Amino acid sequence: MKRLRKVKILATLGPASSEEGMIRKLHEAGADLFRINMSHTNHEMLRTLVTRIRAVESQCGRPIGILADLQGPKLRVGKFADGAVELKAGQSFTLDGKDVPGDSNRVYLPHPEILESVKPGDRLLIDDGRLQLKAEKCDGKSIVCVVVNGNKISDRKGVSLPDTILHTGAMTEKDHKDLEAVLAINDVDWVALSFIQRPEDLAEVRKITRGRVALMSKIEKPQALERIDEIIELSDALMVARGDLGVEMPIESVPGTQKHLIRLCRRAGKPVVVATQMLESMISAAVPTRAEVSDVATAVFEGADAVMLSAESAAGDYPVEAVAMMGAIARSIERDQNYPGIIYAQRPQPEPTGADAISLASRQIAETLNLAAIVCYTSSGTTGLRSARERPQVPIIALSPVIQTARRLSVVWGLHCVVTEDATDLDDMVDRACRIAFREELAKPGDRVIISAGVPLGTPGSTNMLRIAYIGSDGLTGH
């Protein structure tokens, strides 16, 4: 199943897309990997969805990635005696630790970590910023605020803290249980961590996972931007989660932040996913707005590895159409005459290592000689990531004997992943690469491909060899 685009599509599963038949339709329409949102999925349903995705993978013969997205700390106020109150700008309002119904003067905040961390001058945004409070007095047990923008506040509304670093981990008790369930299944490739603020949040999870899943950090709090280089270094991938990010920082600064994060990830050679409201109107409409098309196009132009559908595919009326539309936009942009100049202007300098030099050389040779494809053998996935980091014009075929590696690489820009046995020697390596390039319809007889691998064969992270090979007249033999 050859994709005629480089950027990948991550589709969220939900009530509209949980059946095996629909999952297959989404995959055939263009979804390269699937997201399971643990905010709305119990452990039994998690196991069911993973089983169904793997059944589709078996039917289609293509590695499919699975991302389990942990909920993270959902901060909410308590309940009100009358269900809701109206707060006016300038009035005083208190959040405290008293578990009694609230009124127009105060409300219960069942999060002692907030009461202990907020300082005078910090902002508290309620209900996605519809109500803004500013802390004036804090004693660790209550926060006396002034209402900046008045509005109604009702039971269990969410609280955002754009100015406050909470000195607790990003993992809640629910997240720990969900992560244990994910690891027990042993068939999930990625775990997304919500509301990351510090690199320590990642270190905590790494101790638990021990490499059994790859970690994707969701950037949705401005505090994370202050230590973003450390967070990227400890992450296997990043997600630009623009929904909460747009609540906690000025919404007009989100596009610039998105571009900045994409470029940092490209420089580091880490996959980056752009998410939230990309085709939001397709939840209830068969076609997106022009602005949404431009939004997806911007992410593609910038060289993001993947773009994500949330409610569009999980609960919308047109899940298959949304995936197909996202694919159509990506294909159109990648054929645009401006695309090569934009994508290559941001190409990072290679690291001073032999493997990076090999990846750079393979891209330059492929483009100079107009080769049909770059074929890279990758056991751990590192060679595949390095090849994609170069953003070559030609297709990249990533061959791996490890199906878990191929599944993880399904989120990476430009990689056409194929699971195959490891080559036994150099001749077998060349023959196998040519056969697969022909079989996957990425090269035809008479074409040439360039092959990168590590010698001795099967040694992870040892990419040190390049070989140009012809596709034979029978389409099967390399010469």
**Catalytic amino acids?**
35, 76, 218, 276
Given CA atoms 195, 197, 199, 205 in this order, what sign does their dihedral have? negative
Angle subtended by helix axes 43-60 and 173-185, to nearest 10: 40
- Token reading at 51: 């089983």
Q: Is the peptide bond before 120 cis (omega within 30 degrees of 0)?
A: no
Q: Which residues does 277 contact at the CB level (< 8 Å), separation at least 6?
A: 242, 243, 292, 295, 310
DSSP of 142-210: EEEEEEEE-EEEETT-BEE-TT---SS-S--HHHHHHHHHHHHHT---EEEETT--SHHHHHHHHHHHT
Calpha distance 434→411 (Å, rounded): 24
List all residues 6 or more positions away from 39 whose beta carbon is below 8 Å from its beta carbon.
69, 71, 74
- Distant-in-sequence, close-in-space partners of 187: CB < 8 Å, separation ≥ 6: 50, 54, 66
Spell out where 311-350 has E strands.
none
Among 122, 168, 161, 113, which Cα is nearest to 141's?
113
Specify the DSSP element, H or E, that contains 393: none
What are the b/e assignments for 431-459, b being 16+ CB within 10 Å? bbbbbbbbeeebbeeebbbbbbbbeebee
Nearest in space to 279 (alpha carbons), one of 236, 329, 240, 234: 329
Buried b (16+ CB within 10 A) or exposed e, 253-280: ebeebbbebbebbbbbbbbbbbbbbbbb
Rounded CA-CA distance 20/17 in Å is 8
How many whole angstroms separate alpha carbon 28 and alpha carbon 255? 31
**What count of other Cβ atoms lies within 10 Å of the Cβ of residue 311?**
20
d(CA 79, CA 124): 17
3-state secondary structure of 271: coil
Crossing angle between the packed helical segments 20-29 and 43-60, to the nearest 10 degrees: 50
Count of C-beta atoms within a 10 Å radius of residue 329: 24
